[in-house]
């Protein structure tokens, strides 16, 4: 069944999210962000295969939870749309997903080290990030999530966490809103950079799980403050 048309304001916001992530150096020519359809929870919105910094509302496509186009388009799809489809399928609470290759995060996945909340802005990391090892799911691959099987394995590794590291690839963050998913992707990168710096100085006193939850409730309740700043930096998206 063809889903209803999404709210045009949501299409614009998703284009803005792409450009914010590019402006904040979380994505470059690669990476993507999606949002669950506002009128049909069994569908999600994701740009066509385009560099995030160039995405406009006209580039947004609609997919079902199998990663198939729900509305026909001649535009090329992202190969790794199954990251998004399988997470939405497994996590009804997730409203937005960001996949990126932000540079400071890569060493953690490659060494099997978790991101852990080093300051109050990254309380969403809770007790730490999850880790996805693609060899366990698909043997030797090009590390890309090319199908539903690999997407399902990634979603299982994510579990109830807000961030999963992908060895040799990048990370995926999730949230109950598009604004929060962008916030978390940005601060996962910031946390990674600070965690590396702190580890060079000595043992790190991370936030414990209760502190992380309290910090997240405080900072994420003000996400519009950061969103408005980031939005103001990117100008027109026409």
Catalytic residue status for 80: yes
| Residue 197: how many other CB atoms lie within 10 Å | 12
Q: What is the dihedral angle through the alpha carbons of 12, 18, 23, 25, rounded to the nearest 10 degrees?
A: 170
Query: Any idea which residue has 């996962």 for tokens?
Result: 188
DSSP percent split of the chain into helix, strand, coil, nearest 5 = 45, 15, 40
In sequence order, the 6+-apart residues with CB closer than 8 A to the CB of 188 are 102, 105, 115, 122, 125, 129, 163, 171, 173
Q: At what angle do helices 81-90 and 148-158 cross, to 10 degrees?
A: 50
Structure tokens at 96: 């937005």
Q: Are 207 and 126 in contact (CB under 8 A)?
A: no
Structure tokens at 46: 């994701």
Q: How far apart are CA 14 and CA 233, in angstroms?
A: 16
Q: How far apart are CA 21 and CA 102, in angstroms?
A: 10
Query: Any idea which residue has 């994510």 for tokens?
Result: 158
Active-site entry in 80, 86, 179, 189: 80
Structure tokens at 60: 């947004």
Catalytic sites, residue numbers: 80
């Amino acid at each position: 069944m063809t889903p209803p048309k999404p709210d045009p304001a949501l299409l614009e916001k998703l284009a803005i999210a792409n450009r914010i992530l590019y402006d904040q150096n979380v994505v470059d020519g690669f990476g993507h962000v999606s949002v669950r359809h506002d009128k049909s929870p069994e569908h999600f919105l994701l740009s066509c295969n385009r560099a995030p910094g160039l995405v406009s509302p006209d580039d947004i496509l609609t997919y079902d939870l199998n990663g198939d186009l729900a509305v026909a388009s001649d535009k090329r799809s992202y190969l790794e749309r199954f990251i998004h489809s399988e997470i939405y399928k497994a996590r009804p609470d997730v409203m937005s997903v960001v996949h990126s290759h932000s540079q400071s995060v890569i060493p953690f996945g490659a060494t099997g080290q978790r991101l852990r909340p080093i300051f109050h802005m990254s309380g969403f990391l809770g007790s730490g990030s999850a880790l996805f090892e693609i060899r366990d799911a698909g043997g030797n691959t090009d590390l890309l999530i090319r199908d539903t099987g690999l997407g399902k394995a990634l979603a299982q590794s994510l579990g109830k966490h807000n961030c999963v590291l992908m060895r040799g690839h990048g990370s995926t963050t999730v949230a109950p809103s598009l604004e929060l998913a962008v916030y978390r992707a940005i601060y996962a990168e910031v946390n990674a950079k600070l965690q590396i710096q702190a580890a060079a100085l000595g043992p790190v006193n991370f936030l414990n799980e209760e502190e992380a939850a309290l910090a997240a409730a405080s900072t994420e309740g003000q996400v519009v403050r950061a969103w408005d700043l980031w939005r103001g930096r990117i100008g027109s998206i026409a």
